[in-house]
Amino acid sequence: MLEAPLVYGVLKFVHILLFVYWLGGDAGVYYSSTFVVNPNLSRDARLTAFRIFVELDQLPRYCLALMLTIGGLLAASIGVPHLDWQLPFIIALGPLWVMMVWAIHHYQGKPLGQRLARFDFYFRCFMIVALIASVGYAWGDARLTPYPWIAAKLLIFAALIFCGLMIRLRIPRFVEGYTQLATSRATPQSDADMIAGMQACRPWVLAIWAGVAVSALIGILQPGG
């Protein structure tokens, strides 16, 4: 089934869409954040911008969660060998990860959402290690040596997850400032906290944009393949 031209074409199309909406959505998130931290806007305008910011942020999160599943199936469709257990795991990974991302957002601020957010953090740490280890193992047994560009894309994906974790570790100061804005009113300190929080995240946001763009280019050029 995975060798059928139609299946390959559909998978490639979805793979491209994930890159487009990931990068485009992330740019929209960053742009909307500039309105949230702008002290010259009214409180209502900033709160509205934050709602747009939060909802739009779900789109790149979903794209990230689905990327390994679609990419793995696309790789299988061009003949990249997988271990027997890998394809079932890859197929299940995307939908389950998307469900967790949705649940974290839906139950935000509730005990379930907080537990899922903690689990998601450690799960992403695990995925970073697992991706690097799997690339090393597959390279060692020569399954990936004919496809160095796929190895590069997987390592970049691990780096993108890492960048996302760094953003998560640096965003609390922004959240503290926004909480002051949302519950009462902005103060010079809360404005400074929001701006500082966004500035701390900026290098990692730019790294994600660069990584997504480079990964897409590698997939098109397939160097060394």
Report domain extents, the chain. Answer: 5-221
pLDDT, tens digit (0-9, with 9 covering 90-100), for 77-128: 888 888 888 899 999 999 999 999 999 999 998 999 999 999 999 999 999 9
Q: Which two tokens stand for residue 101?
A: 């991302």
- pLDDT confidence band for 3 (50 / 70 / 90): low
CA distance 106 to 38: 27
Instruction: Write out the H or E segment, with its range, that includes residue 51.
Output: helix 43-77
Position 66 pLDDT exceeds 70: yes
The pLDDT tens digits for 128-145 are 999 999 999 999 988 999
Which pTM does this prediction carry? 0.93
Q: What CA–CA distances, in Å, run from 191 to 30, 39, 67, 103, 169?
A: 17, 7, 36, 30, 19
Cα maximum dimension of the chain: 60
Query: What is the reported pLDDT for 38?
Result: 95
pLDDT of residue 85: 87
Handedness of CA 124, 19, 104, 41 (dihedral sign): positive
> What gap in Å lies between CA 66 and CA 92, rounded to an integer?
10
Distance CA 151, CA 42 (A): 48
Q: How far apart are CA 116 and CA 104, in angstroms?
A: 6
How many CA atoms are closer than 13 Å to the CA of 103, on its beta-carbon side? 16
Half-sphere exposure of 151 (CA within 13 A, CB side): 19
Q: Which H or E run contains 2?
A: none
Output the six-digit token pair for 196. Answer: 């500082």
Percent of the chain with pLDDT over 70: 99
Give the whole-angstrom CA distance, residue 157 versus residue 139.
Answer: 17
pLDDT of 1 above 50:
no
- CB of 91 within 8 A of CB of 73? yes
Q: What percent of the chain has pLDDT over 90?
A: 87
Question: Which residues 6+ apart lie within 8 Å of 91 measured at CB?
Answer: 69, 72, 73
What pLDDT is stored for residue 5 in this prediction?
Answer: 80
Tell me what the pLDDT averaged over the chain comes to. Answer: 93
